[in-house]
Chain A
Amino acid sequence: MVNVLIVEDSRISRESFERQLEASSGYHVKASIENAANAEIVCMSSRIDLILMDVCTADDESGLTAAARIKRNYPQIRIIIMTSMPEHSFIRKAKESGCDSFWYKEQGDITLAEICDRTMRGEFVWPDSSPEIMIGMAKSSDFTERELDVIRALASGNRYEEMAEVLFMSTNTVKYHVKNILRKTGFRSTIQLVAEVVEKRLILPKY
């Protein structure tokens, strides 16, 4: 029997996952919580084999940070990161944290039971890319990695000088990237850009 810990802040989704797992044979939901920061405490006390970890959990605690910590202390636990956010950096961060699989909850190309089975068989199940969305006139895939870094720094509320320091580039290079991003999207201001990328969840700076 695979002992599962579900970390999901939406109670509707949490209980829906509980029902789906309890219905499939071989899984037992050991605990179900809403705050990722509490997940490690559960792992200390109970034998957990698999964690379904949401990224954006209660009180803005990041599932990616919690997963990295759990993988350091309990490397044998399999972790599936799940999200409905198209945030471009989540896949990379989940890989860096040592997670086993990644599931887009609302994409529907693979079911929860299927990803759990494959992960428990030792497979690493990862999507090829984050879902494509439109930001103004540009597709999310139209941005270069560096441009996405600049958008992230902008969305964190940094000034150009602060962005230059964080991104190890000159202020002029930051301005050059911002100009290109605005040209691609057709936006007139960075506020418009930030509002759109956060609203469409291409960037979620807290996680």
Chain B
Amino acid sequence: MFEKLKERYRTSGIIRRAIDTYPGGICFTASDGRPILANKKINEICYALTGHTVTNGEGMWEELQQKKLRPETASCEDLQEDCRTVVCRLADGTVWQFRRLTFPANGREIIQYEASEITELYEYRARLAQKNAQAALLHERQRELMKNIVQNNLDKELLAAKIRIHDDFGQLLLVTENMLADTDHTQDAQSEQELLASWRNVIDDMENAAEASSKSTADPRDELVKVAGMTGCKVIFSGTQPQERRALLLMYAAVREALTNAVRHGGADSLTVEMSETPDSYRIRITNNGTAPAGPVREGVGLGSLRRRLEQEGAALAYTYADGFAVLLQIPKEG
């Protein structure tokens, strides 16, 4: 009997020494949290975090999860992967990850709490997050740059046209000067007519260049109404059209598609666009006096690509059949 007890005591001692030499913290408890075996390290960490050693495993776990920690320590939630993991930073700067596992042993449930030091990993993660934030900033700058570059290209094209007009103008001045200096009148009337026509062209171009410079954000309504008129369909607008350019262009993309379908399939000669707005969005209702679709609208290539374009911008497209067929559009306002 004594030998058996001695043997058991020796085995327990070996186990204790073994877990005390384990560099991390480890603790086994019964299902009610009563400690069965805990090493020195987990007691030290638990004390550093909560102000007491492991008196009850479930109690310690609850305190860690609810962040009932000593003020000089901190919870690192960014590293917590799931409900079985808690990460905390001690006052000495080391970061510890706690994990809770359950397993059966001798017909009863045993809970294992494990604390591993992840200071290095945590610092890598922090550095990575910092680099990601920098990358996101650069990425945003790149997008912004793209927007400006497209506009710069347009400006450049206009500048090239102006340079061409300037060159033509200079050349015509020279030819005119030569002609005026030609007192012997060797130039014939046809050359004079050609010169005059060239002057008219260059003057037209100069007028257009001035207009092109000032009209970079023309109202898309003008041209749409013009081409609709060519089909014999009148477009009537009511309400105030969106102030934001993005919303305005989306609206006209939808009006254009509705117009095409109303004329082609419904034989309409009048299309009405009612525009209204809420604090968050623009609402557009498009109706026509043509034949309404016999059944639910089947979206082909045109409506399909319009829907994709609208949805990419967070806008919504819908149809209503009650009280006449209408295309409904909702476009969110920008932040």
Contact = CB atoms under 8 A, between A and B. Distances in A.
A155 B211 CA distance: 31
Contact of A16 (B153, B205, B260): B205
Nearest to A19: B201
Contacts of A10: 157-158, 161, 212
Interface stretch (B23-31, B90-98, B143-151): B143-151
Given A12-B165, A16-B205, A69 B230 contact: no
Contact of A44 (B143, B146, B209, B260): B260
Given A33-B226, A199-B153, 19 more contacts: A11-B208, A12-B209, A13-B161, A19-B201, A35-B223, A41-B224, A41-B231, A41-B260, A42-B230, A44-B263, A44-B264, A58-B220, A59-B249, A69-B302, A191-B145, A198-B150, A198-B153, A199-B149, A204-B150
Interface in B152-175: 152-153, 157-158, 161, 165
Contacts of B149: 195, 198-199
Interface in A179-207: 190-191, 194-195, 198-199, 201, 204-206
Contacts of A138: none
B150 A157 contact: no
Interface in B253-278: 253, 256, 259-260, 263-264
Interface of B: 135, 138-139, 141-143, 145-146, 149-150, 152-153, 157-158, 161, 165, 201, 204-205, 208-209, 211-212, 218, 220, 223-224, 226-228, 230-232, 249, 252-253, 256, 259-260, 263-264, 301-302
Given A84-B157, A157-B142, A191-B145, A46 B230 contact: yes
A21 interface: no
A45 interface: yes
Contacts of A31: 227, 230
B232 A38 contact: no
A12 B208 contact: yes
Contact of A58 (B145, B161, B218): B218
A72 interface: yes
Contacts of B150: 60, 198, 204, 206
Nearest to B212: A11
Interface string A153-184: 00101010000000000000000000000000
A194 B153 CA distance: 14
B301 A69 contact: yes
A10 B249 CA distance: 19
Given A44-B264, A204-B150, A35 B161 contact: no
A37 B223 CA distance: 10
B143 A12 contact: no
Interface residues of A, number: 38
A23 to B, nearest CB: 10
Given A16-B205, A19-B201, A31-B227, A157 B146 contact: yes
A33 B223 contact: yes
B228 to A, nearest CB: 7
Interface in A45-95: 45-46, 58-60, 69, 72, 84
B205 A12 contact: yes
Contacts of A37: 253, 256
A23 B11 CA distance: 109
B165 A195 contact: no
Interface string A16-38: 10010000000000010111011
Contact of B220 (A45, A59, A198, A205): A59
A15 B153 CA distance: 21
B302 to A, nearest CB: 7
A199 B157 contact: no
A147 interface: no
A69 B256 CA distance: 14
Nearest to A46: B230
A5 to B, nearest CB: 10
By Cβ-Cβ distance, the 10 closest A-B pairs, closest first, are: A45-B231, A198-B149, A41-B227, A45-B230, A157-B143, A11-B208, A38-B227, A12-B161, A12-B208, A11-B212
